[in-house]
Amino acid sequence: MLTAAAATEKGIHLRNQDAYLCLPGRGLFAVADGVTTGGRSERASKAAIDAVRNSKELAAAFAKAHARIRQLKDAGSTTLTACTIRGTRLEFVHVGDSALLLVRDRVLQLTREHAQPGSNLLTQVVGKGGIRPQQGAATLRKGDILLLLTDGVTKHLDEEELLALARTLRVQLLPKALLARARTKPKLYEDDKTAVAVRIG
């Protein structure tokens, strides 16, 4: 059994450029963060999420999203992190700097950032250039919590904070709490923030 919840909020952008998918009945979850390049990158993140929703395989969804966004005018590009859960089997595909985290006795980041070290410059995005998505799998246990987060959250919360919130709050309350905690941190600008939380068993 999966219990899941999600939350998103707009930062300083005119429109929220984040998008998410939270379908516990299908064991399907994703987050996307539109990359601002002067266009309307919320179109890119929405197209990416739509591709995940409408595809049977994650790898195929990424290929479809990449092709579709390249066809859209002024859509920019997007990060995309998506996963499926079938029983205790987790499979994921990832491009960009959003994150998939496994919370157990500690916080384990399953995805790696496609970004230049010490920089916000992404080396891979869906909808621009070539992509080589990271693919991975893991075996889950009862009580595990998965977090899919855009960088508006991950850049401002450390492992200790994530672990404390995940251990003390019900999953239904966790996404909004993560956004609220990230909002309190000093920053140069207020980015869009999205969190999806999934509890196993």
pLDDT digits (tens, 9 = 90+) for 151-178: 999 999 999 999 999 999 999 999 999 9
pLDDT digits (tens, 9 = 90+) for 174-192: 999 999 999 998 877 789 9
In whole angstroms, give the CA distance from residue 27 to residue 155: 27
Helix/strand/coil (H, E, C) string of the chain? CEEEEEEEECCCCCCCCEEEEEECCCCEEEEEEEECCCCCHHHHHHHHHHHHHCCCCHHHHHHHHHHHHHHCCCCCEECEEEEEEECCEEEEEEECCCEEEEECCCEEECCCCCECCCCCCECCEECECCCCCEEEEEECCCCCEEEEECHHHHCCCCHHHHHHHHHHCCCCCHHHHHHHHHHCCCCCCCCCEEEEEEEEC
Smallest CA-to-CA distance from 61 within 138, 129, 133, 123 is with 133
Query: Which domains are assigned to the chain?
Result: 2-200 (3.60.40.10)
**Whole-model pTM?**
0.96
pLDDT digits (tens, 9 = 90+) for 114-127: 988 877 789 999 99
